[in-house]
Structure 1
């Protein structure tokens, strides 16, 4: 590790201690060349803009994704949260047709998650992707989706990767959702394109998820079902769906194997790191990125900068009260790392999404779990004080006043809201330490047991470029000291907060059920039985009125789909 900084060394050492056997599969030390500036949507030119009203501001995003795909000579891996929609789906179809026209025998694997209550319909996705392809195409395409578990700790894919031939890759936070990213008042996000050996790691990460699917009984998986098959994996309820084209190819997708002689491009030192949650094959949990990100932040000597959707736990998606979902917790280990740095006088700057943010192109979304900046700061300082009892309260108060800054994202410094009244949303997953190393990937710092993947750039020059392109203009528009007052943070940290009034459980339950009803009604596809079971597993009783509403959802949704011919963008998911 001689070529790594002290940040990179700490990160790698933590992952070697956690899962040494997963090096080369779930984490690795590699290299690559960053192509152009970081991919941020909307582009940096839109910082300071009070409204984004047109629907063409980020059309270059799906085009950039597909420009990478059409370079393929032999292999394409795509992983994303759920069904691509709108221009994203259209661009993918055009890219597949362009690949077909070359005659090259390219293997394409597309792997998606299955969000609880809003499963991916891979049959519908495949129909859109193959629309212009003949049965005798040289392409071999597999589209799969998977979820293991039905609780707050369920696992589905959350990584966002496009990897081509072990040589080209685009990864980060972007989902392929037209209404969220390409229409008016969009959510903000960050990804990065690279060339070089780092792309190989993206393929290998995808291999494990496909291997889990291959371990299941394929006779249970229906190619043409609108909903994923219900089965059991590692003793947990599981949703799985698989489709292939042409029909003549083998049922299960093959494993990617590295091509000998791929050129090493660029000199940027990179650490790839991921986690698989419950997607494991007879082994202990394989989540080394948790330990890696914790160690990265704990190694800070001067500064930690964080851009995230939220840091508080998943909560009931209602606006008048913030209540964690049963089984969810605050990210204590991350807060111990950040809080320990704060106690050493390290500057901690955090930017989060406004609670319950809704992009202008969708009816309902939830970019922000509901926690305020002062909630996040209060819990961070509470954990810091418990973990560092040697720091007196007076000194902690001074440290908070001088070194801790937490703010909501803004498009323009004038307001947290778009002109239509909806809050500005953030979906980025960014960490910068000491202006030496930075992380871009899919992993949120609030706790969610999903499949995640990202990259740490252990390179001061590359980190400086990233800060100039993204962090500095963002922070200039975003930071407002009034978002997080030091006295409010300390009041929370020194109190018994958070506590919840048991007498309001019934009201919260009813509101949660109604909210889930609206979420499912607007979703592209829905499983009513699963939605009810999920509520019961979370401990929410559903009264007869709400049960009746849930029972009516399936009939309503079927009628709506017949009218539209296609489900719309995913409108809301607990983990984005």
Structure 2
């Protein structure tokens, strides 16, 4: 039978099921007798939301109204318990030290990954930006061996799904990774393993998580790159370990991305391009999916879809606190739930907003402060911060990366943490939004007072130093926000404009948030904050500067190419591999 006949039927069946599911939901909303929004909120109501603070409720309300179809995919109210301290690399003792991190300063982090993987009995999801290298790869191989040992007496093969991004210009070598992971496994290993990658336009996976059996979770900002985190001049990053029902949300977040890989590869075009062109080959198409299964002829071509009935049941861990999972898929779907949740939470702030991020501004032309064509500042976030400062007298504290920070002896083409903007630039863009949104009520004296009293932005430092001993600047890759000291988010999502698939967790509990602040934010802020980073006069003098990239109309000749070129430059990443890992391409 012609294979295309089967794939077309499967594709049609998948689309039909999705259409019918959405139609059923919309039919409920549109039936007569009740207000549309009332029905919408009733449909998406989550009993766990009763325990949310006003910060969590602000996000929950907007998610129920705007993103009901993404419930249990990209957001959910759940619970979990943070385990131990925040997973910081380098560890927080560096903030009070004038010395560089010691040798093997963060080798414990790949060990923590191994520990989480080793608890797998039924199902393990791993997600990262690219395939791992160095010690991260070694520990992934070791973790898989542990899973195989655990699975010896299991009734069914243990499921392992590894998902990465298929970045423009850097093909995801799924087959290579499967060969490395399974090289020393016995033929009767009781596992089914899939490594997959996807890209749709300028969207791909950027989430970083390990989710095990719906119970154990590690998630945050860490990529799996040896030279960036474990060597000299490491970039700062932040993740967290959790246990509880929030882990189900991590598995569910992966499902739709695997569905997209399957759906695209089952098209006629996907059947030819994505199946038969080796995944290590750079192809010019905007969309690309790849998947490799193990063992061949035993595991299905595509992995199964997770649901909570497939993993062991367990009692809710003692000490669990309210949580909100917040995610987005980029161009895979309509809507960006986590973006709207962030804006709502900024809008709920009564006293203080704290951010530890890489950047606020867009990617620049190398060695300049000129944004790439079509690249803009995140106006919705800036508007929310501006309103909080001006209308509600909220204080805003932000720690950003030193511009152009390059870790591990790499070069700027391999790694560059810091898009090129200064603290003054970031402050000026926030203040400009105050001028725009409240133009009839703003005068320079009041504006200056707000900058002095309410807005503090600084570069990340160690004991007041923003460089390592060799003069290289210190980078920040964390994605952390805290509202009013009662709710805090840790995850993979940057605040500068970048339309990737992201996921993270809001801890909506005052006691746990205060522990996180004590463990992470307080040492960071004490070591980093210097008033001169955000000089008030320089901010006021620079309010007339246009920092957005050149406007581009994609419908005009050459406009689409400019946007594509800018997207490619903004997404440049180099995957570091040893010379002996070159994958031979066979056509």
TM over 0.5: yes
Aligned mate of 1:120, from 163, 167, 172: 172
Aligned mate of 1:132, from 176, 184, 187: 184
Q: Which residue of 2 aligns with 1:554?
A: none
Aligned ranges for residues 370-385 of structure 1 at < 5 Å?
370-385=420-435
CA distance in 1, matches of 2:453, 2:101: 38
CA distance in 2, matches of 1:156, 1:51: 38
Pairing 1:141–2:141 present: no
SS of the aligned residue for 2:131 comes to: coil
Q: Which residue of 2 aligns with 1:289?
A: 338
1:95/1:357 CA distance change after superposition, 3 Å: same
Aligned 8 A contact 1:116 1:534 in 2: no
Aligned ranges for residues 437-456 of structure 1 at < 5 Å?
437-456=487-506
Deviations 1:397-442 (A, max 9, x none): 10111111100001231x2111212110000000011001111000
Pairing 1:566–2:585 present: no
Q: Which residue of 2 aligns with 1:201?
A: 249
1:158/1:228 CA distance change after superposition, 3 Å: farther
CA distance in 1, matches of 2:135, 2:521: 28
Aligned mate of 1:247, from 293, 296, 309: 296
Q: Which residue of 2 aligns with 1:256?
A: 306
Q: TM-score by structure 1 length?
A: 0.83
Aligned length: 505
SS of the aligned residue for 2:507 comes to: strand
SS of the aligned residue for 2:308 comes to: coil
Cα drift, residue 199 of structure 1: 0.2
Q: Which residue of 2 aligns with 1:490?
A: 540
Aligned 8 A contact 1:309 1:428 in 2: yes
Q: Which residue of 1 aligns with 2:229?
A: 181
Q: Which residue of 2 aligns with 1:396?
A: 447
Aligned 8 A contact 2:417 2:477 in 1: yes
CA distance in 1, matches of 2:280, 2:379: 37
Aligned 8 A contact 1:325 1:538 in 2: no
1:207/1:231 CA distance change after superposition, 3 Å: farther
Deviations 1:337-358 (A, max 9, x none): 1111111211110000011100
Q: CA RMSD in A?
A: 2.4
Q: Which residue of 2 aligns with 1:332?
A: 379
The answer for unaligned runs of 5 or more in structure 2 is 1-48, 552-559
CA distance in 2, matches of 1:541, 1:301: 40
1:106/1:55 CA distance change after superposition, 3 Å: farther
Q: Which residue of 2 aligns with 1:52?
A: 100
Q: Which residue of 1 aligns with 2:388?
A: 341
Q: Which moved more, 1:381-390 or 1:255-264?
A: 255-264
Aligned 8 A contact 2:207 2:503 in 1: yes
1:539/1:39 CA distance change after superposition, 3 Å: closer
CA distance in 2, matches of 1:372, 1:136: 56
SS of the aligned residue for 1:538 comes to: helix
Pairing 1:11–2:72 present: no
SS of the aligned residue for 1:490 comes to: helix
Pairing 1:315–2:315 present: no
CA distance in 1, matches of 2:55, 2:101: 41
CA distance in 2, matches of 1:196, 1:480: 39
CA distance in 1, matches of 2:566, 2:172: 25
Q: Which residue of 2 aligns with 1:547?
A: none
Aligned ranges for residues 70-85 of structure 1 at < 5 Å?
70-85=118-133
Pairing 1:274–2:327 present: yes
Q: Which residue of 1 aligns with 2:477?
A: 427
Deviations 1:89-136 (A, max 9, x none): 000101111111221431000000022212221112111111221232
Aligned 8 A contact 2:375 2:550 in 1: no
SS of the aligned residue for 1:351 comes to: strand
Consecutive aligned runs of 4 or more in structure 1 exceeding 6 Å deviation: 499-502, 533-536, 539-542
SS of the aligned residue for 1:326 comes to: coil
1:499/1:62 CA distance change after superposition, 3 Å: closer
Cα drift, residue 297 of structure 1: 1.1
CA distance in 2, matches of 1:164, 1:119: 27
Aligned mate of 1:2, from 24, 30, 50: 50
Q: Which residue of 2 aligns with 1:298?
A: 347
Q: TM-score by structure 2 length?
A: 0.82
Bigger radius of gyration among the two: 2
